[in-house]
Structures are given as structure tokens and as C-alpha cells.
Amino acid sequence: MTSHLRRLALGTVLPAFEGTTAPPWLLDLLREGLGGVILFGRNIVTPEQVAALVRQILDVRPDAVVGIDEEGGDVTRIHHDSGSPYPGNRVLSEHDDLDATRAVGRGIGAELRELGVNFNLAPIGDYVTDGHSPLTTRSFGRTPRHNAEHAAAWVEGLQSAGVAACLKHYPGLGGSLLDSHLALGRVAAGHAEFTAEHLPTFTRGARANVASMMTAHVVVDCLDPAAPTTLSETVISRLLRDEIGYDGVVISDALEMHGVLNHASSLPAAAVGALRAGVDALCLGAEQYEDATRAVVDAIVAAAESGELTVERLEEADRRIRTMARDYPGTPGLPGSADTSAERSIGRAAAWGATRVEGDVSIAGGGVRLVTFDDRTSIAAGPVPWGIARELREAGVAFADHVLSPPIHDLPDLSDAGPTDVVVAVVRDLPRHPESAEVFARLRVPRLIVVDMGYPGTEYPRASGVIRTFGASRASAAAAVRALTALTAPTRAGTTPIG
């Protein structure tokens, strides 16, 4: 019985690991029944290397789940060295073409599938209700309807390419202003408000047959004021399973996050609590390797032996995970063989179509000073390059480049900027970075153009022109440069929708 319990316990766990090849401990546990792995940017160098790594994993466990966090936009693992070529979620919602959203999901899925990755921890389904949310443009947003329909279209596109999708973070993290990596947040919305704004995307995702949903490390007062969703049987087993009727895989968000560890006593306790609440697969986190994996497995086995967890609950989790792995098998192909040129082109067109222009944004006729307020985005995104410098160079524009790296305290010396010169300030989510916002407020130049690549809503009264891209992917950077270098642009109601 103990060996059966150990296999079931192993099958629920998806750890991380260090290096660009699979370490021996990981291969040993995969042979014993480990459910799979989650890949991060540190595991990725080239497509050929990733395909070889995934082949290592699948050679010892052909039905392993190989997961990754590839949202497009600001969050990318396979393009972490240069930035994603695909626009992010808010861009797609602003463009509002469900076929384009579906195509972006399909393109990302095709690129993952040829590497052998069969599980993508995307897309974001959270409906952001406040610009100070750490999710910002990772959310499709705009309205609950836009959020739900575009998330479902993205899921359909991804899964049509043979990769399982994961709609996150159930039941909706968009009303919390705290980053779950750092703290346990609360959503104080009443039941009617929460049901109208946050739940529709997840009920729509269930109807779209999304392969999995990820739980939020957040307390939703109107659903269960006593526990974060990841540990709440009320929110998972009763609401999601019984009322919404979802029978796909439920995976935890990373159990190393303080949003759940602030409530549970330890990582193994969080794992047991999550399984008891109805979670099937356990994402341990970005920095949880062999010791954490073995401790979690031992804790699950002990909980099953003591009766704290039932064998039936583990068997149910095993059934769902194995069904997903069967429906979305990992089969590494030849890297570069997937032709996603059409999907990338559609993504670039969507980024262009979503871009909004206010005022005069032409950089013709004078010198250009580029000032990038290089605040990194969330911990989830990691250190992915962003901004428009590369695209400006590719467009043949000469400019002086000033990158302000965090912590940002001082402006560069722009005192010699002449009346025909233009300063292009590239920012995103300034309200979330008070120090950067204070430095930006001191920026006084004869002519200022702002390229805002973050959440909408910030006003720039001293700017002669503003470009809003709603995201910072390479596709959105190219759209911003296209607007800066365009000779004319149409206007409508004070803003310019490009395209």
C-alpha cells in the first residue's frame, strides 16, 4: 500500500530544477512516478537545447507533464532573452478581434509543441479592476465580457495546437492589490460584484474545455473569508466542481509564495492542504528542487496513511492529471519546423491595431533622446528585456540612449536638448512605482513624447504626444516605433487607434 501511495503522491508534484539538462535526482523520481516538471527561463538557452531536455524527461516518463509559463506579452520563458514576439493579453483585448487572439494562442502553442512542452500555465483569466494591481496588462481586462471571451479564444487557440492550457488564477485575483509572491491578499468585493466581474471568465473557460485551472493565493471574502482559495474546499470542491461543473485538472499556484505560506505552516503542509481542498497538481515553485520535492511527497504519504487525506482523493487527482497528459502528449519535434509566421504577423497587426496615439508623436526634424524608465515588471515576468531601443535602431533612427535602472532616483543630463530635439520617455505602470513616478515628474524638456507600455489611465499633461501600447512585447515595441516614425496618423475623439 505504501508504494501505491508513494506513486500517487509523486504523481501530483511538479517541481522545478536547476540547469539546462535534467539532473539525476529528477530522472530518478520521474521513473518512480513524478507527475512532471515546470520549466523556467534558467532552463532555457536555445530551442535545440530545450527539445533535448524535454526528450530526456519523456524518455524516462513518456506521459510526464512538462509545463512552462508562456503567456506572450510581458511574460515569456522561451523568449526570455529578447522578449516575446507575441502581444500580451490587454493588447489583444484592446484590438478586440477574437480570431487574432485565437491565432496568438495557436502560435504560442505551436512553438511550445515542437519543443515537446505539453502544458502551458497560461492564460491569465483575472479581471483587473484597479491599475495598481500587480497583474496590470497581463489581464485581458476592459470589461468582464471582453476578459472572458478573449481568454476563452486564447485557450482554444493554444489547445488547438496540442498544448494544454491553464486558466489562472481561479476564482479571480484581479481585485487584490498585493502580489501573491510576497503576501496573502484579500478581495473584499461583495458576492454580486464578484460573481459579475471575476467569475465569468472561469465559467466561460470551463465551457471552452480548458484543460486546467490554477488556484489563486488570495482570500475572497464573499466565498470563503477564512482561507486562501488554494486551501479552500468551499471554493474548489463545492463552487468549481459541484456548482460550475468543472472536471479538468486544478493546479496550485506556486506553493513557495508567501500568499499561501503565510497561511500554511510549511511547504509540505500547504501541499497537503491544497490536495485536501481539491487541488490535483502541485506547482512547488521556481526554487523548489530535490529536497522540497521529497519533503512534499513524504508529507502526502504520511497524510494519506493517517487519514488526513483519502486514497480516493489522490486517485481522483491522478486520474485527472493522467487524462490531461494523455490528451496532450509531449512529442519533441525538430526545433524551427513549426511555421508560425502567420500567427506572428497577426500578432504584430493586433499590436498595431491596439496602439493609441494622443497629440503629436512624430520624431522627425530633430535629435532624439530616448529615456527608458526600466522598472522591471512582476516577479512572474522576471528580467525580460523591454522598451523600444532595439526597434528604433532597426528603423534606422539615430538617438541618444538613456536607461534608468532601478532604483531610479535621478534623471540623465538633458540640459543641452535644443528646441527641435525630442525626448521620448518610455514608461509602464508608473503609479505602481512611486520613486520612478517622482523622477518622471521632474522631467522638463522643450518637447516630450511619452510611450506608455503599461496599464492605461495615467495622464501626461506636459507631453506633446502620448503613445499607448498596452503591453511591452516586441510586437508592441514595433508598433510604438511605427507610430513615432509615421508621417501622418488619423484621429478619432482625441485619440488615434492605429490600423
- The model's pLDDT over 169-198, given as tens digits with 9 standing for 90+, comes to 999 999 998 888 888 889 999 999 999 999
**What are the residue numbers of the active site?**
181, 253
C-alpha 12/C-alpha 322 separation (Å) is 10
Spans of the chain, pLDDT less than 70: 1, 376-381, 487-499
Report the pLDDT value the prediction gives residue 338, as an integer from 0 to 100: 87
pLDDT tens per residue across span 7-33: 999 999 999 999 999 999 999 999 999
CATH topology of domain 2-68+165-327: TIM Barrel (3.20.20)
Candidates 90, 169, 178; CA nearest to 428 is 90
Report the pLDDT value the prediction gives residue 379, as an integer from 0 to 100: 64
Report yes or no: 93 and 142 within 8 Å, Cβ to Cβ.
Answer: yes
How many other β-carbons are positioned within 10 Å of the β-carbon of residue 330?
Answer: 25
Report the pLDDT value the prediction gives residue 497, as an integer from 0 to 100: 42
C-alpha cell at 228: 486562501
Report the pLDDT value the prediction gives residue 498, as an integer from 0 to 100: 43
pTM of the entire predicted model: 0.94
C-alpha cell at 304: 494519506
Q: Is 243 exposed, middle or buried (0-12, 13-18, 19+ CB in 10 A)?
A: exposed
pLDDT tens per residue across span 384-424: 899 999 999 999 999 999 999 988 999 999 988 888 899 99
> 341-497 belongs to which CATH class?
alpha beta
User: What SS3 state is found at 211?
Assistant: coil
C-alpha 84/C-alpha 473 separation (Å) is 5
The phi and psi torsions of 338 (rounded to 5 degrees) equal -75, 125
**Residue 431 preceded by cis peptide, ω within 30:** no
Mean pLDDT of the chain: 93
C-alpha 249/C-alpha 323 separation (Å) is 9
Report the pLDDT value the prediction gives residue 466, as an integer from 0 to 100: 98
Parse the chain into domains and list their residue ranges: 2-68+165-327, 341-497
Candidates 47, 75, 42, 44; CA nearest to 386 is 75
Residues linked to residue 426 through DSSP beta bridges, in sequence order: 372, 451
Candidates 68, 74, 72; CA nearest to 377 is 74
Q: Identify the residue whose cell numbers are 509559463.
A: 69
Q: CA dist 249 to 30, 170, 280, 322, Å?
A: 20, 12, 6, 10
Evaluate the CA torsion angle 404, 410, 412, 417 in order and state its sign.
positive
C-alpha 4/C-alpha 400 separation (Å) is 64
Report yes or no: 160 and 168 within 8 Å, Cβ to Cβ.
Answer: no
Report the pLDDT value the prediction gives residue 489, as an integer from 0 to 100: 40
Which DSSP state fits 254?
Answer: P
Report yes or no: 132 and 295 within 8 Å, Cβ to Cβ.
Answer: no
Please give the helix or strand (H or E) that residue 247 lies within, else none.
Answer: none
Please give the helix or strand (H or E) that residue 42 lies within, else none.
Answer: none
Report the pLDDT value the prediction gives residue 404, as an integer from 0 to 100: 95
Q: Is 303 exposed, middle or buried (0-12, 13-18, 19+ CB in 10 A)?
A: buried
**Residue 407 preceded by cis peptide, ω within 30:** yes
